[in-house]
Amino acid sequence: MKRRNFIKNAALTGAGVAVGSTLLSCADNDTKETKIVATTNNKSQVSLPLVIATWHVEEATAKAWKVLQAGGNALDAVEQGCMVEEANEKGQSVGKGGLPDREGNVTLDACIMDKHGNCGSVVYLQNVTHAVSVARKVMEDTPHVMLAGKGAEQFAYEQGFKKENLLTEASKKAWEAWKIKSEYKPIINIENHDTIGMLAIDKNGDISGACTTSGLAYKMAGRVGDSPIIGSGLFVDNEIGACVATGLGEEVVKTVGSFLVVELMRQGKSPQEACEEAISRIVNKPNSNYKDFQVGYIAVNKQGETGSYSIHQWFSMTKYQDGVNEQIQSDFFNKS
Ligand code: ASP
C-alpha cells in the first residue's frame, strides 16, 4: 500500500497499554488524557478513537476527530464529519454544489447507522444541504427507515431544515456544457472523489457510519444509487465492524457490497481481505465491464483494524487516529 500526502496535526500522542482481548483505558502521563486501546486477536494494539472516510477529506475527518477526542460518540462524529463536505460548495459530488441530474435537479441520497443497528435514510432529497442530518432525523424521530423525494423534503422542513438552492453557478455551468454534448454515460469518474462515506469508533469502542452523495452526475431523473441503501452503501454491526462504499452504485447494489464486507469480517476476514473479496465479486462476474467504472470500499472491524480497496487506482481513504490525519492511497485490482 502506497501512502501520500501525510497530514500531521498536533493532538493526542503517546503509547497505550494493552493487556486484554478487548478495550482498555489508561492515563497518558504527558497529556492526562484517557487513551483507549483495542487489542486484536493476534495481540497487536490499535488506538481508539478513530475515524476513516472515503477519498481525501481531511477537513471532514478532522471535524469527526474533534468530536471523538472530546469524548463524543461515533454517531455524532460521522454526522458532523459528513456535514463538512455537504456544506463545501466546491465539492461537486456531495450536498450543496453537487452536480445535477440530466434535468438540472440536484438530488441527494444519504444514510446513517448507529451502534444499535438503527438506521435512517433519505433518497432523492432536494433543496436541503444536510441530507445526512435529515437521515438521522428519520432514524431518531420516525418509525421508518427511509423517506424519499417530496416526503423527505417536507419532513426536513418540519424538522427545521432550511430550503436552499443546491445548484451552484459552477455546477450549473458544468451541466450546461454537458447538455450541449448531450451524451449520457453513467460511468463513474475513476479519478475524482465522489460520495463521502465515514466510519468511526469512539472511546467506548462503539461504531457508527454515514454516507452522503449527490449521486452520479447527469443521471436519469429519479435515479437512486447505493448510498442511501442500508447494506449496499453502508452497513454497521457494532459486534463486528462496518463498511461504506463509493463508486458506481448500481454495481454495489447488485452485490449488496457493504453488508457483504461486514459478513466476510464476521467469518474471520480482516477488513482489507473483506474489501478485496467484495471487489472480486464485482470484477469476476461473467461479462463484467469493470474497466469502465470504479467501486471502492473502506472498512473497520471492532478491533479498530481498517482496510480499503478499489477496482482502479486513485481511490484513497482518509484516516484520523492517534492525532494523525492522513490520506492513505488504496490498493486496487486493475493493475493492467
Ligand atoms: N455511489 C454513488 C452513487 O452511485 C456515487 C459515488 O460514490 O460517486 O450514487
Under 8 Å between Cβ of 163 and 84: no
Separation of 317 CA from ligand 1 center, angstroms? 16
Compute the mean pLDDT over every residue in the chain, rounded to the nearest whole number: 86
pLDDT digits (tens, 9 = 90+) for 221-275: 999 999 999 999 999 999 999 999 999 999 999 999 999 999 999 999 999 999 9
Asked if the structure places residue 311 within a domain, the reply is yes
The confidence score (pLDDT) of residue 27 equals 35
pTM above 0.85, yes or no: yes
Query: What percent of the chain lies above the pLDDT cut of 70?
Result: 83
Report if residue 12 sits inside a domain. Answer: no
In a domain, 258, yes or no: yes
Task: Tell me which residue range forms the domain holding 248.
Answer: 19-332
In a domain, 5, yes or no: no
CATH number at residue 321: 3.60.20.30
Q: What is the mean pLDDT of residues 29-58?
A: 67
Atom of ligand 1 nearest to the CA of 224: 9
Atom 4 in ligand 1: residue holding the nearest Cα: 249
Expressed in angstroms and rounded, the spacing between residue 328 Cα and the centre of ligand 1 is: 20
Instruction: Establish whether residue 81 lines the binding site of ligand 1, counting it when its CB lies within 6 angstroms of any ligand atom.
Output: no
Give the H/E segment covering residue 332. Answer: strand 331-332
| Residue pLDDT, tens place only, 98-130 | 889 989 999 999 999 999 999 999 999 999 999
Catalytic residues: 195
- What is the C-alpha to C-alpha distance for residues 168 and 166, in angstroms, rounded to an integer? 6
Tell me if 226 CB under 6 Å of ligand 1: yes
The structural domain count of the chain equals 1
Reported as half-sphere exposure (CB side, CA atoms, 13 A), residue 299 has a value of 38
